[in-house]
Structure 1
Amino acid sequence: MGHDHGHSHDHHHHHHSLPSHNSAFAIGASLNLGFVLVEVACGIAFGSLALLADAGHNLADVAGLLLAWGAMALARRRPTGRLTYGLGRGTILAALSNAGLLLFGLGAIGWEAVRRLLTEATPIEAGPVMAVAAVGLVINGVTALMFRKGASSDLNLRGAFLHMVADAAISGGVIVAAGLIALTGWSWIDPVIGLAIVVIIAIGTWGLFRDSLDLALDAVPAGIDRAAVEAFLLDQPGVSDLHDLHIWSLSTSAVALTAHLVMPNSENTDAFLLELAEELHEHFGIDHSTVQIERSPCDCPLVSVHAAA
């Protein structure tokens, strides 16, 4: 920045190997692609719009799984001279795209359900429809379970998980709707249950969209309390002030931090910075920390603007 102050920098990174989940992605994509073909054939043969709608949603989920899988593969590649942080940010874009795909798919299903409520419903063969949907429930349920563990800590995997949960819920709705129609003869049950499922899934999907958009805009990750990080840094021995504290996501599983610490009487800064980076990782899950030490407060106007933002 061109200050007149003595500066010490530390770039400390925790390079953790990203789990590939290759088996889960390969199995999930293959099973769902095969099931799409089965649903299309059975939906046409048995006159079930619910099955055809589910097939369309399932096809979007295959694309979503492949997108998430590709992003995770790219994230494992090493940084280059041009892509100095690597391609980990692709996982954020994949999560955002998956959320968009889900919302689009839910909107299409909701639109079709409303249209069916306003027109005369087409009779369906409940038995075959329930059988096909039951297979879908098992396939999507098993696939969702393969992503469940990673979904709590990785937004990209959460997107894949939500896709599978959504499909499992829709398949379950098809089973319930077909069973009730067989008992009552009320064809309007099918679109009503479809609308209910759309609303329920949309709530969870909106959370995925909001969180992934936040990461794409370099917001502080949801699991990190910025105020707590600031208090922790100010509480370090010898630190009198700090400015330019930034915390953002490099990917859906890696967090970065930069900060300027004012330490008038700093000594042995290398050991201090190394220990600080370890504690930031241990307490806050920050993998990539860059800390600059200043002997006195900087009166640079650019820094003042940043500090006040």
Structure 2
Amino acid sequence: MAHTHSHEPGDSNTRRLLAAFIITALFMVAEVIGGLLSGSLALLADAGHMLTDAAALLMALVAVQFSRRPASTRRTFGWLRLTTLAAFVNALALVVIIVIIVWEAIERFRHPQPVAGVGMMIIAVAGLLANIASFWFLHHGSGEKNLNVRAAALHVMGDLLGSVGAIVAAVVIITTGWTPIDPILSVLVSCLVLKSAWGLLKESVNELLEGAPDAIDVAALARDLARAIPEVRNVHHVHVWLVGEKPVLTLHVQVIPPHDHDALLARIHAFLEHHYSIAHATVQMEYQACCGPACELSTTTPGHHHHHH
């Protein structure tokens, strides 16, 4: 089966990731300089957060470049799965960062430290603008469907929410001098980011374990195929997984012996592509009930199927 791959989404993902990386890296340097000049520990800590973001964006950028390498006899799917691996590492790093932030917040509750409100406000506003620019680049266009770009966008969103929290905290500190607002808001922001990071972690782990994508109901697919094509008597041994956001499927179909084998196979492929957007499918057609080692786990009752998570 011939496949054509458009490089336009990949190119646009690369441009967006590169733009976000440059903005994040430049602002991280600015925060380090600002932190050293003002003696602000909070700014240096935030610069550390920006450093992890810059690393995440760089990793995403490298993964996108690798994923565009052609397939070979050794890597028959090419490097598409690398983007999923990068998303997994990014999500894991984000969870670790959140744990560190919460731990630091608890320490600050126990041992309050003076915070320079005005300096914090200036850098926080500048950080918010930089993060809005980065987030817009990453969230604009086809990247919303790319797990890897979404992972990078989550890192930036964490910083964006962090900047909003820092602005609110700076206003409270400047007006009232109450410093515990700083760790309180950092914990609230961390909880919001954790929800998204956890979802991304589950999604990337499911893809790495070759689980069926959430968008595809395997039971419904088997039923729909048997109903849509009269010659299909039984659908079983169904396996669906994702490779770099592309669904891949293998299945067995017990069919009434057709007059035209190739025409029936073409109808099955057309159904899968039209109703489930599965362009890469391997279909094994059988005229008798499935038996042998390949079918030991599958049921042979009409309308039933077998699938793995």
User: TM-score with structure 1 length normalisation?
Assistant: 0.90
Q: Residue 113 of structure 1 is aligned with which of 105, 114, 139?
A: 105
Cα deviation for residue 178 of structure 1 reads 0.9
2:133 is the alignment partner of 1:142: yes
Q: Residue 299 of structure 1 is aligned with which of 291, 296, 301?
A: 291
2:94 is the alignment partner of 1:102: yes
- Residue matched to 2:303: none
Q: What does 1:35-50 correspond to in 2, within 5 Å? A: 35-50=27-42
Take 1:275 and 1:114, find their aligned partners in 2: how far apart are those partners? 61
Partner-residue secondary structure (3-state), 2:281: strand
Take 1:254 and 1:219, find their aligned partners in 2: how far apart are those partners? 13
Deviations 1:112-160 (A, max 9, x none): 1111111032x22222221111111111111111222435422112101
Take 1:225 and 1:91, find their aligned partners in 2: how far apart are those partners? 24
Q: What does 1:26-175 correspond to in 2, within 5 Å? A: 26-121=18-113, 123-148=114-139, 149-175=141-167
Write the letter of the residue equivalent to 1:130.
M
- Residue matched to 1:276: 268
Cα deviation for residue 306 of structure 1 reads 4.9
Report if aligned partners of 2:20, 2:138 keep a CA contact under 8 Å in 1.
Answer: no
2:245 is the alignment partner of 1:229: no
- The structure whose RCO (Cα within 8 Å, separation 6+) is larger is 1
Q: Percent identity?
A: 34
- Residue matched to 2:258: 266
Take 1:287 and 1:167, find their aligned partners in 2: how far apart are those partners? 38
Cα deviation for residue 297 of structure 1 reads 1.4
Unaligned runs of 5+ in 1: 1-10
Take 1:138 and 1:278, find their aligned partners in 2: how far apart are those partners? 47
The count of residues paired between Structure 1 and Structure 2 equals 297
Report if aligned partners of 1:61, 1:163 keep a CA contact under 8 Å in 2.
Answer: yes
Report if aligned partners of 1:170, 1:197 keep a CA contact under 8 Å in 2.
Answer: yes
Deviations 1:30-83 (A, max 9, x none): 111111111122223334333222211111111111111221222212110111
The runs of 4+ residues in structure 1 deviating greater than 6 Å are none
Report if aligned partners of 1:79, 1:86 keep a CA contact under 8 Å in 2.
Answer: yes
Take 1:234 and 1:69, find their aligned partners in 2: how far apart are those partners? 43
Partner-residue secondary structure (3-state), 1:100: helix
Partner-residue secondary structure (3-state), 1:22: helix
Query: Alignment RMSD, CA only?
Result: 1.8
Partner-residue secondary structure (3-state), 1:19: helix
Take 1:267 and 1:50, find their aligned partners in 2: how far apart are those partners? 75
2:299 is the alignment partner of 1:288: no
Cα pair distance change 1:267/1:46, threshold 3 Å: farther
User: TM-score with structure 2 length normalisation?
Assistant: 0.90
